[in-house]
């Protein structure tokens, strides 16, 4: 890519971020610009780590395929557009909620960027980081505006938690999927507090659902059940006064009912089918990975009883492993240090539970717990899981960090977080 084209795209990205500052962070300029820089650094770091540490990986493989298609576009534009709009499913992979080849869709999206950027991985990654940055700030703005005392927890969960920052910024499917979930979450907050939803925002709602479902269907499936349940309970509570305990029991009952009905909607959604896929995926990971970096489950079978019996260990391992003594490299040591911090947040959350708990935390914890258990069982490799779990980790961190005394302690030492 020419230097001139790099300057053009860099200027465009800066102009977009600068222009959005008044809308997103009129009173938090230092935090705004710092988080933007961190997003860019994280996006570049993903590319460098996969290039030199993993010698390739998904992000570079997708980019290489997209580059080939951008070459096709320059040589035969009609053939390129025919490929872009060809959604015939030729994959033999049999997934739960399977729609089409998610990797192929992702390559198509990247190819549009490679075509515009002159096949520059780094500029493509910068655009992904910018999209993630906007989605994060849109959600942050809604939380701070409507949820009292939420700024510290939101700042940590959306901007500064290391693995969330890292895995949600680069040229990866997780970046787009999490951005979609962030946007839907922000719209829910606006609906909950009876804010006007613009027509453009409704359009982005449908785009976000499609994008999230297409790229990370298991994230979006559980998220939508939580979202629909919360919307129904929200409307019920507006018409009828309910105590918090009764409200949470109503929410949990509806969540289970909606999830059960969803499992009857299609053969691929049947509970027996989901359990078979979970156990099959676990067996494949164990076979490929051996005993290194694997979360072991004893007597795991495709039954609901077995799933429930293994759920506590799956939840604990998915949240807090690798432990510090399990670290075998710099990256795993950093992951274990983060998990130790997460454990400390959890302990303080439980200690101050009765004082700091708010009703809105219950759906966040439910989403995080359910998705964590399913991801841990189906993806027991600790390295892969550290990437996949960002689908729930921001919501868990926000719930645990809300009014957490540890955050108050840290915020006093980082002055601009209180502004």
Higher local confidence (pLDDT), 33 or 293: 33
Task: Report, in angstroms and rounded to the nearest whole number, the Rg of the chain calculated over CA atoms.
Answer: 22
Q: Which has the minimum average pLDDT: 21-25, 57-61, 202-206, 415-419? A: 415-419
Higher local confidence (pLDDT), 245 or 343: 343
Find the helix or strand (DSSP H, E) in which 142 lies: helix 121-146
pTM: predicted TM-score of the whole model, two decimal places: 0.92
* 158 and 94 co-located in one domain: yes
- In this structure, is residue 74 part of a structural domain? yes
Looking at residue 165, what is its pLDDT?
A: 96
| Residues 150-191 pLDDT 10s | 999 999 999 999 999 999 999 999 999 999 999 999 999 999
Q: Which has the minimum average pLDDT: 109-113, 223-227, 263-267, 302-306? A: 263-267
Q: Is the pLDDT of residue 349 over 50?
A: yes
* 135 and 211 co-located in one domain: yes
The parent domain of residue 134 ranges over: 1-215
Beta carbons within 8 Å of 309's beta carbon, 6+ residues apart: 299
| Residues 112-122 pLDDT 10s | 999 999 899 99
* 33 and 158 co-located in one domain: yes
The closest of 222, 381, 167, 350 to 286, measured between CA atoms, is 381
Number of domains in the chain: 2
- In this structure, is residue 206 part of a structural domain? yes
* 183 and 268 co-located in one domain: no
* 40 and 115 co-located in one domain: yes
Average the pLDDT over 9-24 and give the result: 89
- In this structure, is residue 201 part of a structural domain? yes
Looking at residue 137, what is its pLDDT?
A: 96
* 286 and 371 co-located in one domain: yes
Q: How far apart are the first and last CA of the chain?
A: 41
- In this structure, is residue 282 part of a structural domain? yes
- In this structure, is residue 231 part of a structural domain? no
Q: Phi and psi for 148 in degrees, rounded to 5?
A: -65, 145
The closest of 59, 188, 183 to 124, measured between CA atoms, is 59
* 122 and 271 co-located in one domain: no
Looking at residue 402, what is its pLDDT?
A: 93
* 184 and 271 co-located in one domain: no
* 276 and 351 co-located in one domain: yes
Q: What is the residue-averaged pLDDT of the chain?
A: 88
Beta carbons within 8 Å of 198's beta carbon, 6+ residues apart: none
Find the helix or strand (DSSP H, E) in which 332 lies: helix 330-351
Give the C-alpha distances (Å, rounded to integers) separating 135 from 36, 50, 57, 145, 311: 12, 24, 26, 16, 32
């Amino acid at each position: 890519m020419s230097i001139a084209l790099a300057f053009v795209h860099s200027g465009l990205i800066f102009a977009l971020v600068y222009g959005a500052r008044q809308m997103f962070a009129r009173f938090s300029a230092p935090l705004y610009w710092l988080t933007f820089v961190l997003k860019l650094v994280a996006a570049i770091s993903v590319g460098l780590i996969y290039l030199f540490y993993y010698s390739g990986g998904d992000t570079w493989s997708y980019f290489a395929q997209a580059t080939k298609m951008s070459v096709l576009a320059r040589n035969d534009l009609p053939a390129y557009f025919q490929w872009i709009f060809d959604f015939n499913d030729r994959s033999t992979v049999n997934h739960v909620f399977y729609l089409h080849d998610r990797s192929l869709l992702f390559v198509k999206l990247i190819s549009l960027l490679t075509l515009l950027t002159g096949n520059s991985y780094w500029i493509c990654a910068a655009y992904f980081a910018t999209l993630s940055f906007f989605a994060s700030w849109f959600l942050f703005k809604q939380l701070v505006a409507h949820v009292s005392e939420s700024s510290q927890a939101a700042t940590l969960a959306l901007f500064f938690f290391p693995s969330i920052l890292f895995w949600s910024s680069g040229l990866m499917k997780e970046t787009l999927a999490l951005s979609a979930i962030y946007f839907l979450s922000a719209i829910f907050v606006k609906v909950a507090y009876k804010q006007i939803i613009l027509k453009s925002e409704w359009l982005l709602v449908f785009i976000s659902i499609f994008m999230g479902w297409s790229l990370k269907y298991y994230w979006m499936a559980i998220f939508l059940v939580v979202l629909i349940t919360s919307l129904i309970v929200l409307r019920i509570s507006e018409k009828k006064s309910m105590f918090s305990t009764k409200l949470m029991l109503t929410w949990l009952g509806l969540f289970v009912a909606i999830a059960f009905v969803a499992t009857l909607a299609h053969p691929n959604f049947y509970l027996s089918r989901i359990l078979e896929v979970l156990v099959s995926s676990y067996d494949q990971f164990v076979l490929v990975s051996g005993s290194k970096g694997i979360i072991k489950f004893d007597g795991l079978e495709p039954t609901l009883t077995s799933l429930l019996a293994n759920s506590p260990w799956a939840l604990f391992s998915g949240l807090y492993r690798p432990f510090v003594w399990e670290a075998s490299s710099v990256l795993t040591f950093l992951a274990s240090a983060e998990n130790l911090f997460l454990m400390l947040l959890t302990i303080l959350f439980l200690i101050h539970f009765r004082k700091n708990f708010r009703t809105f935390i219950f759906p966040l914890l439910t989403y995080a717990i359910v998705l964590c258990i399913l991801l841990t069982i189906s993806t027991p490799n600790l390295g892969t899981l550290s990437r996949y779990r960002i689908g729930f980790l921001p919501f868990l961190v926000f719930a645990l960090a809300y009014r957490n005394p540890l955050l108050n302690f840290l915020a006093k030492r980082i002055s601009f977080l209180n502004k």
